[in-house]
Structure 1
Amino acid sequence: MVRLVSSQELAQHNTQEDCWVIIHGKVYDLTKFLPEHPGGIKVITRWAGQDATPSFESIHPPDIVDHYLGPEVFIGEIDKSTLSVTKVESEEEKQRRAAHAKKPALDEMLNIFDFEGVAKQVLKPDAWAYYSSGADDEITLRENHNAFHRLWLRPRVMVNVTNIDMSTTFLGTKTSIPVYISATALGRLGHPEGEVVLTRASHSEGIIQMIPTLASCSFNEMINNRGRGQAQWFQLYVNKDRKVTEKLVRNAEEKGVKALFITVDAPQLGGSLFDR
């Protein structure tokens, strides 16, 4: 018989040394899992003794609990009769919702800076912090920005431009333009459907999508939403448990992923505004 946990009992387990959380109505003891969490300890402990479902859903695919947590961490189900259901919309949320309703049409966006300006108005604060900030003192973010200012496109003049073909190949795979969708985690921070919308968009535009290891959607969700003949790549964070990594790579290979990209410059997560 499944044990019922009251909200009062849950609230007592609210520290790093004793951390229980609710995910989809189920109570888990994540105390021993904290050091293993790829996103760091604080991301979980901020929800210690509380319902972490809203935060969980905006970051993780629904099946990740079954993949990474053993049955020993399951405590029971939350007793819903003990939960407070009062929820008041904050003034900040009202303003964000109003800005979302008034956002410009897609064909009115002229450049990347236009997208950035709208995103700052319509994204939740944690989502904006994640997408806009860099790690620690943000030196790399600043230098990347400066590096793009040193790139120039050489114009071709006095040539026939009646028919223009921007297609090329990346690693033997054809793409309609020399651009691909790079791997970025936590897609649901920007859209309820997460990375799946990028899967559909990359297919409709004939470009390649790189699937991130830490996506909000599951790997299979992105695979199942690809179109006929669509090419996908896979970005990999190597897990300290090599069996987990081997399983990920073999699954990607079996599902027809065309290329594997291993992240080698992130032995640990850097601090960012998102983590604060």
Structure 2
Amino acid sequence: MSEALLEISNLVVDYPGRGFRARPFRALKGVSIDVRAGETVGLVGESGSGKSTLGRAVLGLAPVTEGSVRYCSEEIGHATRGRRRQLASEIQVVFQDPYTSMNPSMTIRRILLEPLIARGVRSRQAEGRAIELLDQVALPAHALDRLPREFSGGQRQRIAIARALALDPKLVVCDEPVSALDLSTQARVLELLCDIQEQTGVAYLFISHDLAVVQHVSRRVAVMLSGEIVEQGEAWQVTTVPSHPYTQRLLLAAPVADPDAQALRRAERQRLLSAAAFDRAPTFDHGTVH
């Protein structure tokens, strides 16, 4: 069994309460998950479940109250700002919204060269690397001289992926990277992420609210509800025969083309919702094969 690239153990994140003497809000409640080199682990849950907070804690953007975040066996949950800058070459992020994740006044050349120049890469080498990155995400070299507004949403997300790959990271946190895109563009971006992983061996922590998307790219899946992981295991098992009622509801929430089948799914989901009002289901861990 190989050692985990990223290992999160009993992670607790509290945010300050709003108002005078307000109690802190506990966003994560003892979450444990790991990501191994070259694999994709999907993290799925509805809005407010805490999945993006987990990603932010890995990136040093959310406060770690308790527990640990270890990267290559190093505790980084309370890393200094200087250490975080060093880690940026190994841990990168692709955000949800390709429209706001880039500076609209900067050309694509500047967007891609900025992290390279900051790492001390010479201008000529950085220019060559930028062209390589665009080729890697299937965009032409002449795109370097254009502004973000001149591209479609899918193309902007490809540029965001290229920027994340600029420093050859070992881990990329993908925070809802396709949720702002239409279905056909989603498919192309997901295929691109899979191709890049095959070529480079990069690992992904893939955060999404959509079980179908997570199933397409992940080897293992963890399901979050109210700041806790309620089910985790291999992707095929969690996304086809889920054990936890919440995971079952997520699966039933995905629409199907057959109206009769959709009516049955809607009725079953309503039954599970009614049952959830009275019962608290246990957490399911199917185990993993590494």
TM class, shorter-length: under 0.3
Structure with the higher strand share, 1 or 2: 2
Larger Cα Rg: Structure 1 or Structure 2? 1
Question: Comparing both chains, which one has the higher relative contact order based on Cα–Cα distances under 8 Å and sequence gaps of 6 or more?
Answer: 2
- Give the TM-score taking structure 2 as reference length: 0.26
- Give the TM-score taking structure 1 as reference length: 0.27
